[in-house]
Structure 1
Amino acid sequence: MPDPLTQVVGLLRPSAPLSKLVTGSGPWAVRRSYSGRPFYAAVLEGGCRLAIDGEAGIVLREGDFVLIPAAHAFTTSSLHPPPRGAALPPVAVGPGVFRLGDAEGPPNVRMLVGHCAFASSDADLLVSLLPRYVHVRGAARLTTLLGLVNEETRADRPGRDVVLARLLEVVLIEALRATAGPAAPSGLLRGLADDRLAAALRGMHDRPTESWTVAALAREAGLSRSTFFERFRRAVGVAPMEYLLAWRMALAKDLLSRGAVGMAEVAERVGYSSASTFSVAFARHVGRPPIRYARERQAR
């Protein structure tokens, strides 16, 4: 079975509507607002600054990779940014190639940047399990992968969308697992970094149909019930049963959106004893009955 991180990324169903090569020279700055869309950048040469609203600024150097799973407002700039209000907009100098700052001077940065989209109807929930941003240093593998993304974005070859989706899944998994650890912000990555909690998380993801209780999950983790509950809540950011419900509903939404199975089978696959019990739980969680939800998603 896929591990929880792979399952979450797979359910997000990423696509790549935009990828470009950007060079900058002299002082430059770009303010971006992506309304929650994922943004990524890999620095190929030189360096720049990244300032995400509400976070400390980051200096990005050659070989660095950054991913913002839900980008809202941030600024990228040269290491010595221009005075406020003096920055010029990017200028297209070729297909998928843009120039920042001085059009003639030697470049102080060259990077691959882009944003992707998540097709999942539960993207907000899944993204909430991830860090606000991911910064990986010396990311040669990620840079290579993004080079392939950039090349595939530009090409008009058969199977392009499928190839891009798979490449982006690998990019996201590579980036996220590179930052997993006890120091990660609360969420799925921090939970997976704890061997005891990871056992419980794998159990929920591998066997969502099981009649899980906090006590059963604690046994899976090899911890007492109270210790497990508090440790899980601190690391993952939500209580164990709240996480289990959210995961089951994410799976249900995916199955309903695809329309491949009937309501009774959806209920069974996500751990409910009957379609009626599932329907009540789904309507309470999502705000509308599963049949209506399925019709709305399949009509799009």
Structure 2
Amino acid sequence: MPDPLADIITMLQPHAPISKLVLASGRWRVSRTEVRQVYYCMMLAGSARLAVEHKSPVILEPGDFALVPAAFNFEMSSIEPPVKGEQSVRVRQADGSFRVGSLTETADTQSLVGHCVFGSPDAALLVSLLPDLVVVRGEDRLAMLTRLVAEEVHSARSARDVVLEHLLQVLLIEALRSSPDATAAPGLLRGLADERLAPALRMMHAAPDQNWTVAKLAREAGLSRSAFFARFSRQVGAPPMDYLVSWRMTMAKQLLRNGQKSVSEVAAQIGYGSASAFSFAFSRQVGQPPGHYAKSGEAPPAP
């Protein structure tokens, strides 16, 4: 049976990473505002403070791995950062590493930092299903994967881009499935961690063409209709049928972009009894008819 988390990471198409070793000393602060980039950090030595917008700061220690799939503003700094607003200059060293903070003191903090982007046109929708911050402590597999990504980034071996894409997919999946379930924000991760909701989520992903109703999904979960609706909405962050429609439309957009299926075939594959019913639902969700979307390959700009 398909795995919803694997489905989403694969569809996100992570690629074009940047990986670098960062050494820091003294008081320092580096802020990020690239909302379309994924940020990850493996602490190798020392301690650092990670502050993500609207969340309490987190202290990272050696062996800790942090992942920010998408955040409007966040910053990494020393435990005691400089005065508010002061940013540190990043200085590239001869060996390719970067220094921040005091350049005259011995570096007391080392971290392996990486950025990547999602190639999917539906990245915003897919990322919204993931937590906005993941911190995993002392997971050796993540340390190994992070180092493999860094080595591949700086190599010139054949099939480098293919290897990197697959490594990044594994890295993201490992980070997300290793994160403490209790701390995850409402979304797919919390839904899959719920033993009652996970079967229903997997069925929606495995058979989107089925005529699912809240009652049928509730039976898969072994819950009453009202209990399932309330629990799904609370854990996933959206009512079950809203989630199903979003997933169906994400699949539909991918199928239409591929250009190998007609509108009627796409409608049947994702669970609509007629092309007209699918066209109405697609237009309402995406903002243009599926035929127009198939020709353009992209959604219309947001107003």
Work out the CA distance in 2 between the residues paired with 1:101 and 1:111.
14
Count of residue pairs the alignment pairs up? 299
Q: How far does the alpha carbon of each residue in 1:271-300 deviate from its partner, in whole angstroms, 9 at most, with x for none?
A: 1122232122111100011122122228xx
Q: Is contact 2:136-2:180 (8 Å) kept? A: no
Work out the CA distance in 1 between the residues paired with 2:271 and 2:22.
48
Find the counterpart in structure 2 of residue 45 from structure 1.
Answer: 45
Find the counterpart in structure 2 of residue 254 from structure 1.
Answer: 254
1:112-191 equivalences under 5 Å are: 112-179=112-179, 181-191=181-191
Q: 1:260 to 1:23 in 2, by over 3 A?
A: farther
Displacement of 1:32 in angstroms is 1.6
Work out the CA distance in 2 between the residues paired with 1:216 and 1:136.
36
Deviation larger for 61-70 or 260-269 = 260-269
Q: 1:96 to 1:211 in 2, by over 3 A?
A: farther
Q: Is contact 1:48-1:77 (8 Å) kept? A: yes
Q: Is contact 1:180-1:190 (8 Å) kept? A: no
Task: Supply the AA of the counterpart residue of 1:43.
Answer: M
Displacement of 1:87 in angstroms is 4.2
Q: CA RMSD in A?
A: 1.8
Question: What secondary structure, in the 3-state scheme, does the structure 1 residue paired with 2:27 have?
Answer: coil
Find the counterpart in structure 1 of residue 277 from structure 2.
Answer: 277
Displacement of 1:143 in angstroms is 1.6
Work out the CA distance in 2 between the residues paired with 1:52 and 1:180.
18
Structure 1 gaps of 5+ residues are none
What TM-score, normalized by structure 2, do the two folds share?
0.93
What TM-score, normalized by structure 1, do the two folds share?
0.94
Find the counterpart in structure 2 of residue 79 from structure 1.
Answer: 79
Q: How far does the alpha carbon of each residue in 1:87-107 deviate from its partner, in whole angstroms, 9 at most, with x for none?
A: 431001136421111223211
Identical positions, percent: 52
Find the counterpart in structure 1 of residue 230 from structure 2.
Answer: 230
Deviation larger for 95-104 or 167-176 = 95-104
Find the counterpart in structure 1 of residue 199 from structure 2.
Answer: 199
Q: Is contact 1:20-1:97 (8 Å) kept? A: yes
Q: How far does the alpha carbon of each residue in 1:48-72 deviate from its partner, in whole angstroms, 9 at most, with x for none?
A: 1111122111110100111111122
Q: Is contact 2:2-2:202 (8 Å) kept? A: no
Question: What secondary structure, in the 3-state scheme, does the structure 2 residue paired with 1:195 have?
Answer: coil
Q: How far does the alpha carbon of each residue in 1:68-119 deviate from its partner, in whole angstroms, 9 at most, with x for none?
A: 1112211111123223355431001136421111223211111111211111
Structure 2 gaps of 5+ residues are 299-303
Displacement of 1:2 in angstroms is 2.7
Q: Is contact 1:191-1:198 (8 Å) kept? A: yes
Find the counterpart in structure 2 of residue 90 from structure 1.
Answer: 90
Question: What secondary structure, in the 3-state scheme, does the structure 2 residue paired with 1:166 have?
Answer: helix
Q: Which has the higher strand share?
A: 1
Task: Supply the AA of the counterpart residue of 1:165.
Answer: E
Work out the CA distance in 2 between the residues paired with 1:54 and 1:219.
37
Task: Supply the AA of the counterpart residue of 1:285.
Answer: Q
Work out the CA distance in 1 between the residues paired with 2:251 and 2:84.
46
